[in-house]
Each structure stands twice: as structure tokens, then as C-alpha cells.
Chains A and B, each alone.
Chain A
Amino acid sequence: MKRKLVIIGAGMASGRMLETLLDMAPDAYDVTLFNAEPRGNYNRLMLSPVLSGEKTYEEIVTHDEAWYAARGIETRFGEHVVRIDRARQVVISARGETHYDKLVIATGSAPFILPVQGKDLPGVVTYRDLEDTNAMIAIARPGAKAVVIGGGLLGLEAAAGMAARGAEVVVIHIMGHLMERQLDPSAGYLLQKDLERRGIKVHCRGATKAILGHDRVEAVALDDGTVYGADLVCMAVGIRPEVRLANDAHLEVGRGIVVNDQMTTSDPAIHALGECVEHNRQLFGLVAPLYDQAKVLAATLAGQAAAFRPVQTATKLKVTGVDLFSAGDFAEGPGREDIVFRDPGRGIYKRLVIEGDRLLGAVMYGDTADGAWFFSQIKEGSDISAMRDTLIFGPGFQGAAPADPLAAVAALPPEAEICGCNGVCKGRIVTAIQGGAVTLDAVRASTKASASCGTCTGLVEQVMALTLGGGFKANANPPLCKCTDHTHEDVRRLIKAGAMKSIPAVMQELGWKTAGGCATCRPALNYYLIADWPLDYRDDRQSRFVNERNHANIQKDGTYSVVPRMWGGVTTPAELRAIADAADKYKVAMVKVTGGQRIDLLGVRKEDLPAIWADLNDAGMVSGHAYSKGLRTVKTCVGSEFCRFGTQDSTGLGIKLEKMLWGSWTPAKVKLGVSGCPRNCAEATCKDIGVVCVDSGYEVSVAGAAGMDVRETLPLCKVATEAEVMEAVAAFVQLYRENARYLHRIYKWVDKVGLDWCQAQIADPATRRALCDRFQLSQSIYQVDPWAEHAKPAERAKWAALADLTLEAAE
């Protein structure tokens, strides 16, 4: 017969314990689960991304009602247990008594509330559960004022989350520097600077005197006389174990419920785990030891031998863009020595604390890539005397291993810990992958690695890449290139947020791993800076691909093709004569009509480019930008001027559009088509932007393609006048310029952001107008003919050889 297990509390520790117990002994118990919160278990570590808007609640649920139902667990969510009757082995709740053979107390912790005046005012919250998070989300709007009391892990994550939502945030911390339990003063200072750069005010050595307000919170007053206005106050000054039930039941309680190595309390029928327990006079707040307790308790309940041994833990702060790591013991003391590395310009600080031949602690800020390696040195107590000279530079400098991050992971021994939350080592991940877990989700499911706070996801992926080789498909949004861990989207966002206005500034601020980037990131950064800072940034020619640097398309033999612009595909006899003369003069190998209704001159030598451009300029022609990530062509039909079916002047509109858009740089090439009637002779409906004229006006559609992919355009808007077409197209091109990833054509970008969103932006008059204005501003700088610039006599020498030594070398 099954025995009766009652669990009080559905938090992360009890959730993990249940999972393990059901794996070990699926039929041993009938389980009843009480939870004061009206829901099951979710990943509490992930409340910070929910607060900042990077995740939703649904994404962080780990065990929902269906999960418990499928396992036959009776859930009593929202029902408080009010008393335990040990003599009769029952718990008493609102709905009566429930018998137990074994009872597990997992009541967690309660936030510590400062005993100050005003602590009970509406608008004062703590940061423990979803209710608190939702209360902060509801208030943290742009312009709202929030005060966070407490500059530890939780307080700072609350502050960063509300700041990300636009609130003005002040952090009040009683100690001399932030996160004093995890950081030394130097790293705390760097962290404070970083937060201040994000607009978060930090007030250290601030003691809260009172919370002021009539009907709800209005301000916070400090002992030193400072008063901060507040629409919301978040108290994050610490936690205390929730021990009331255990106290009332006369279990042995110190600061927490006292348990032995088997997680059993002073009553053999009652166990406890999580933040509510005290083991060897120690309390536990981080998730890694809680999960260890869960495993031990599951074994105890299943009748197996196990003992809880607390291990060292490492800390990372989950604030996007802040890189911070600490592990071990880093207090100063006799016989302890420091190795310190500082690079204030790059915001990097590393400190190792050594005693004898052992590494005791590590604090890293700004560059935490080697954190896992240092942590494993600390836990294993390795003798570091042989590598002491270069220890602070990390595993890349020990032996001959290169500084490549994959090599650093490859160098880790199988017992090195990858996931600190769940205590998963490299060997277990490798075994899981070899056992068939070939996706990140599968590895998470089978090992729990990267399934909690997620900061080790990159490491897990590197282990996967090493184990699977070419068979590994990285996550859907890989870093921009191997020089950085940031995605294109992150880089674009951070360039704007951090007002970075040069390529070196971006590389410095975002911690580029290479000097000078590579041929992938440099053109992308150059484009992003041009698009975001048209007035401040100067185009970096040396960061452009050859075609854009030389304003001509390189051919396989090193010669170039030259394509003059023919507005809307319309030319004149005089232009054709000038093109023919140029083709003769520069011995052009082929004259070809392009798909974009213009003429391509192929096989021009580089040193002849300025001269042929000057000749074409003299005949009134400018560069056709046939080589650029920019406006290429506007293809037109003859329209109402000649065609018996034409409804509008499609040729004239095409020319106007091309004259408005030419010279603009875009993430990838942009081609337009304008057809004079729905017969669509200009093939407008497979272009990046297409306009089809109808009797009543103009249908503007976008996101077509006729290359590697073939797509029909999707409707953007329908308008009545040419002027409205011009405005909609300029606004849409600007929307694309400001938001798309470099090298993504319009159809790929629209796939990502959704047509609905694009339509809404263009339909809103104020947004459309503002986009148009920003496009015109950019054009006032960038709409220039590059041929005319480079064909100037003073520039021409740069296109020829630097020196001709053909005769000297033969001597």
C-alpha cells in the first residue's frame, strides 16, 4: 500500500525533489501538495527577465497543473496550511485535515521588512514572487519613480528590470559598496558606474529612516536627510527562513528549521528543505545547494542512503550587459595574497585571492569568460603554484592552449562544473549528448544544465559544438560573428542605447574579442553607425567590401563593371552615345543590358575607373550603385503616358521615387518596381517594394523577392496620390534601415518583425512623418554621387599602382 506524502510549498526546491523522487520511486507515495501561492512551480530565478520584459511568465513555468495531474499528485494551490499536529500526523488547512506518513516542509523564505514608518503603505513591495513582479511591472513606466532599498543581487535585478521598462530608479544601499557579500569594493565600484550609465542612481551608505505618503507611498527619507520621490518602493534587504509552522509544531528551530544530513528534522516523520532550513548552522539562498538538498531528500524518502554536503557556490548577476562573476572566499586575511588585473578603460577588473598554493576566491567584472575555470580550480583545490605567473589570464595561457573560447572549454576536465545552479559537470553533458540529446532543449531536459538561470547557456552550447562537431546547429540567433557574443539585434540596440559613434567605440564598449574585428563585423558595424548617427558618424571606407569601397563590382578576373544610373529605366540618345564612346575608349569587354533596365559596362580596369566615371559624369550620369547595399533600381513600365491600359504615370512616379531614394545605404540591396496597371509589366510584385497603379490610386506592397527565394509582395497600404506613395515608401525604407539586421533583405526582415507591425508603423501619421524626416536628414548627408568625388584629379592617383618596379626587379 502506498504511503501518504504531504508537501507544504511548491517552490523550486520542492519541485526538484518531487521530480527526483518520482524518477526513483514512482509508486512509493500518494502525494498531496499545498502551496500558498495560487499556482504551481515556476523558475523564480527568471523573475528578473520577466520584470525587464525579456521573458513572459508562461516561459518560466516549470510545473503547471497538468504536470501534477499527469503524475496523480493532488494539488491544493492557494490553500494555506495553518497548523501541523505531530501527535496525530495531520496538517490542518482551510478545507480540513490531511493525514501524512511523511511530511515535507518547503515553505521557503519571507522577505525581510525594515521596521520603519510607512512600511505598510500601498506601493511598498518586496521581490519574491510573481505578484511582486507584476506590481513592479504595473508601475514601472517611463517617467515613474521607483526606489529600491537594498543593493544586493535581488535589489539590483529589480532596479535594472524597472529601469529597462523606463522608470527612474534609485537604489539605496546601507553598505559602502554594492553586493558586498559577493564583490570587493573595486568590482562594486565598477558595477555602480555601469548601473549609473544605465540611468540608475546608486546611493551607498544610505540608511532608510521612513517611507512617506498618505494613501500610498510618495517618498523615501534617509537618515542623512536625503528624500527621494517614489511611486513604488521595493524592499530587497534580505530574507529570513519561513519557520512559523515548524515553531508552532515545536520542531527544533534555530534561524531556520534544523535538519540533519538526510534533511530530516527533529521529528523523524518530518523533513524540510530549501530556504527554510538550517544545516550545520548554515542557511541557503542560492539555487545550487537547494537542488542538492532536493536530491538528498528524494533519496531519503525513497529509502536510499544519501547525505547533504554543502559545496562552494558561484554568483552571476542576471542583468543584460553587466558581466559579473564571483566565487569562493575573497575576504582579506593574514597569509592571503591578491593577484589583481585592472583595465579601467575597458571596464575590466579581475581579482584572485590565493593562500599558499591554492586559489580561494575569484571576483571578475567586465570579462567573466574564465569564471567557470577559476571556479573549478577553487573547488578542486588545485595546486596553482606552477601557473601563478599567468593564472589571472585564465586557461588560455596555461600550456599552449590558444585563447579561443572553444579551446578553453575543450581544455576543461570532465568533472569541471558547467552549470552552477544544477551542479552539472562537463562529463554529464557530454554523456547526455552522446546519448542522443543533440539540441539545447534536449540537453536541458536530460541534465538540467542551463535550465535554471541560463547564464551558462553559451558554455553548454560550446560543449555541444565540441561533442557534435559539424552536426551541431547553434541557437537560432547566433552572435554577429566570432569577434563577439552579441547578436546583431543586441549590437544595434546597444549602439543606440550607449550612444556609441565609432567602430572602435563599439568594439571597446561591447568587449570585442579581436583587435580590429573581421570582414564580417566591420561592414555591419559601419552600416549600423551610418544608419543610426547620420550626422556624427563618418563612413569608414576601409570597413567596406571591395565593391562598395571601389564603387564598382569586382569581377572574377579583378576587373570591374560600371553601371550608370538610368532614372526609372529611361535614357536618351545623348546618354547612349556617351556610354558607347566610353565603352570604346576604355576597351570594355562586354556591354550588357541588366534586369534593372540599365546598361552594364564589364571588364574595366581599376586604374581606369576614375576616368570613365568622369566621362559619364560629363554626360550628366551618376553612379547606378549597382554594387551597393542600398537603392539599386526602380523598374517601370511606360504607364499612362503611352500605354493604352495605363491608369497612372508609372514612369514618372518611378523616376521620382528613384530620385528620392538614390544614394541611401540600407541593410541589403533594395529594388523597386512601379507598374501602371494590374497587368504589372514592371513585375512590381516580386520587388522589395512594389507599386501597382489602379484607377483609384496606388497599391504599395513590400517584401517580394526573386532571387534565391521567390516571394510575392504583401500589401503595405493603399493611397490616392503620388505624394502619399512617396511618403509611405520613404518611411518604410527608413523603418527597414533602422531595424533590420545587416545583409537581411526586406522580405527576411518582414518575416521576423511581421507585416502587421510594419503596417501599423506606416499607418500612424506621426510615426510615418518622423520616419520620413529621419530619412530626409540622412539623405541630406549621403545622397552624393561617389563617382564625382573619386573622379577628381587629386584622387585619381590613388586608383593606380603605388609604384611600378617592373624594370628595377629585372636588373
Chain B
Amino acid sequence: MTWADIGALDDIPAQGARVVKTAAGCVAVFRTADDRVFAMADQCPHKGGPLSEGIVHGTSVTCPLHAWVFSLESGEAQGPDAGAVATFAVRIEAGRILLDMRRLARRVAA
């Protein structure tokens, strides 16, 4: 299988996130104010902060530990900080959130 059903859209608060445990580490799944979803590794490249606990604004999240800001779309750090977080494809189908497992599986194999 490539797309895993990880839960309902309503399980994630708008402007919030939940965590999915995978063999490749925790993945943060974000829901924006306009009900789009994004997935990225739940680990800030700076000091490993859980990005799933950051404040979600627009299509960005601010790390709760030292306020680095990442684009949910690209995983790139914004502003003066340099770094990136791995992003994963995710989509909504009939109110369910589906996570693309291919890239995750590659990360495990690597």
C-alpha cells in the first residue's frame, strides 16, 4: 500500500497538529485555518524541538523551543535561519487524511 489512512480531518484542530508514529520517526500532520493538511518530520533541525507543538500561522509553523519558522509547503526554514525539514505527501479524501508511505519507507530503508 502507498497511502495510509491516519485519521479524520476533524481529529486535528484547525491551526493545529497531531503526531503519527512511524518506523522512520514521528511525523507531524498539520491542519491550516483553511483546512489544508501538510506532513513533515516532527523534529526541528535546530535542537530537535517537536514542530507539532508549534503555533500554526498561514502555511507556516513556529518551533515551540526557539521560534524557528518553517514553511509547511516546502519544509524550508524561513527568515534568517537556515535548514529544512523533510516533508511528506498527504491528502484528504472523504474527510479522511491519507499519508504517502513511499517516501517514509525509503527513509527507513536508507
Residues of A within 8 A of B (CB): 514-519, 522-523, 541-546, 549-550, 554, 556-558, 798, 801-811
User: Contact partner of A542 among B15, B21, B58, B101, CB < 8 A?
Assistant: B15
* Structural contact, A805 and B53, CB atoms closer than 8 A: no
Answer whether residue B89 sits at the interface, using C-beta atoms and an 8 A cutoff: no
Kindly supply a per-residue 1/0 record for chain B positions 29-40, scoring 1 wherever the CB is within 8 Å of any chain A CB and 0 otherwise.
Answer: 100110000000
Q: How far is the CA of A393 from the CA of B37 in the complex (A)?
A: 29
* Structural contact, B101 and A809, CB atoms closer than 8 A: yes
Contacts of B23 in A (CB 8 A): 805-807, 809-810
Nearest CB in chain A: distance from B2 CB, A: 11
Given A802-B29, A805-B101, A809-B22, answer yes or no on A542-B16 (Cβ-Cβ < 8 Å).
Answer: yes
Nearest CB in chain A: distance from B47 CB, A: 7
Nearest CB in chain B: distance from A557 CB, A: 8
Contacts of A809 in B (CB 8 A): 22-24, 101, 104-105, 108
What are 25 of the A-B contact pairs (CB < 8 Å)? A514-B58, A515-B33, A516-B56, A517-B57, A518-B62, A519-B54, A519-B55, A519-B57, A519-B62, A542-B56, A550-B53, A554-B50, A554-B65, A801-B18, A801-B20, A801-B26, A802-B11, A802-B20, A805-B101, A807-B23, A809-B22, A809-B101, A809-B105, A810-B23, A811-B1
Contacts of B99 in A (CB 8 A): 805
User: Contact partner of A541 among B13, B33, B50, CB < 8 A?
Assistant: B13
Contacts of B92 in A (CB 8 A): none
Nearest residue in B to A802 (C-beta to C-beta)? Answer: B18
Kindly supply a per-residue 1/0 record for chain B positions 49-70, scoring 1 wherever the CB is within 8 Å of any chain A CB and 0 otherwise.
Answer: 1100111111010101101010
User: Contact partner of B58 among A515, A546, A808, CB < 8 A?
Assistant: A515
Answer whether residue B12 sits at the interface, using C-beta atoms and an 8 A cutoff: yes
* Structural contact, A519 and B20, CB atoms closer than 8 A: no
User: Contact partner of B53 among A554, A557, A804, CB < 8 A?
Assistant: A554
Contacts of A542 in B (CB 8 A): 13-16, 55-56
Given A802-B29, A806-B22, answer yes or no on A514-B57 (Cβ-Cβ < 8 Å).
Answer: yes
Contacts of B22 in A (CB 8 A): 805-806, 809
Nearest residue in A to B8 (C-beta to C-beta)? Answer: A802
Contacts of A801 in B (CB 8 A): 18-21, 26
* Structural contact, B53 and A518, CB atoms closer than 8 A: no
Q: How far is the CA of A542 from the CA of B15 in the complex (A)?
A: 6
Nearest CB in chain B: distance from A117 CB, A: 60
Answer whether residue B82 sits at the interface, using C-beta atoms and an 8 A cutoff: no
- Say which size band chain B's interface belongs to: 35 or more
Answer whether residue B7 sits at the interface, using C-beta atoms and an 8 A cutoff: yes
Contacts of B64 in A (CB 8 A): 545-546, 554
User: Contact partner of B50 among A558, A805, A806, CB < 8 A?
Assistant: A558
Contacts of A805 in B (CB 8 A): 4, 6, 20-23, 99, 101, 104
* Structural contact, A516 and B33, CB atoms closer than 8 A: yes
Q: How far is the CA of A556 from the CA of B48 in the complex (A)?
A: 8
User: Contact partner of A802 among B6, B24, B57, B65, CB < 8 A?
Assistant: B6
Nearest CB in chain A: distance from B33 CB, A: 5
Q: How far is the CA of A549 from the CA of B56 in the complex (A)?
A: 13
Q: How far is the CA of A806 from the CA of B69 in the complex (A)?
A: 28
Contacts of A546 in B (CB 8 A): 53-54, 64
Contacts of B48 in A (CB 8 A): 557-558
Nearest residue in B to A540 (C-beta to C-beta)? Answer: B15
* Structural contact, A802 and B53, CB atoms closer than 8 A: no
Q: How far is the CA of A518 from the CA of B11 in the complex (A)?
A: 23
Nearest CB in chain A: distance from B86 CB, A: 14
Q: How far is the CA of A808 from the CA of B47 in the complex (A)?
A: 28
With a 10 A CB-CB cut-off, give which of B14, B21, B26, B104 has the most chain A CB atoms: B21
* Structural contact, A803 and B6, CB atoms closer than 8 A: yes
Contacts of A558 in B (CB 8 A): 48-50, 53
Q: How far is the CA of A518 from the CA of B63 in the complex (A)?
A: 12
Nearest residue in A to B50 (C-beta to C-beta)? Answer: A558
Contacts of A802 in B (CB 8 A): 6-7, 11-12, 18-20, 29
Q: How far is the CA of A811 from the CA of B105 in the complex (A)?
A: 8
Q: How far is the CA of A554 from the CA of B50 in the complex (A)?
A: 10
Q: How far is the CA of A543 from the CA of B56 in the complex (A)?
A: 8
Contacts of B6 in A (CB 8 A): 802-803, 805
Q: How far is the CA of A743 from the CA of B108 in the complex (A)?
A: 43
User: Contact partner of A810 among B1, B62, B67, B108, CB < 8 A?
Assistant: B108
User: Contact partner of B55 among A543, A798, A806, A810, CB < 8 A?
Assistant: A543
Q: How far is the CA of A733 from the CA of B108 in the complex (A)?
A: 54
Nearest residue in A to B108 (C-beta to C-beta)? Answer: A809
Nearest residue in B to A550 (C-beta to C-beta)? Answer: B53
With a 10 A CB-CB cut-off, give which of B1, B64, B99 has the most chain A CB atoms: B64
Nearest residue in A to B20 (C-beta to C-beta)? Answer: A803
Q: How far is the CA of A808 from the CA of B54 in the complex (A)?
A: 27
Nearest CB in chain B: distance from A220 CB, A: 50
Contacts of B57 in A (CB 8 A): 514, 516-519, 522
Give 10 new A-B contacts, CB below 8 A, not counting A517-B57, A554-B50, A808-B4: A515-B58, A519-B54, A519-B55, A544-B55, A546-B53, A549-B53, A558-B48, A805-B4, A805-B104, A806-B21
Given A556-B65, A802-B7, answer yes or no on A516-B58 (Cβ-Cβ < 8 Å).
Answer: yes
Nearest CB in chain B: distance from A682 CB, A: 33
Contacts of B33 in A (CB 8 A): 515-516
Q: How far is the CA of A550 from the CA of B54 in the complex (A)?
A: 11
Nearest CB in chain B: distance from A184 CB, A: 34
Nearest CB in chain B: distance from A558 CB, A: 5
Nearest residue in B to A483 (C-beta to C-beta)? Answer: B57
Nearest residue in A to B57 (C-beta to C-beta)? Answer: A516
Nearest residue in A to B104 (C-beta to C-beta)? Answer: A809
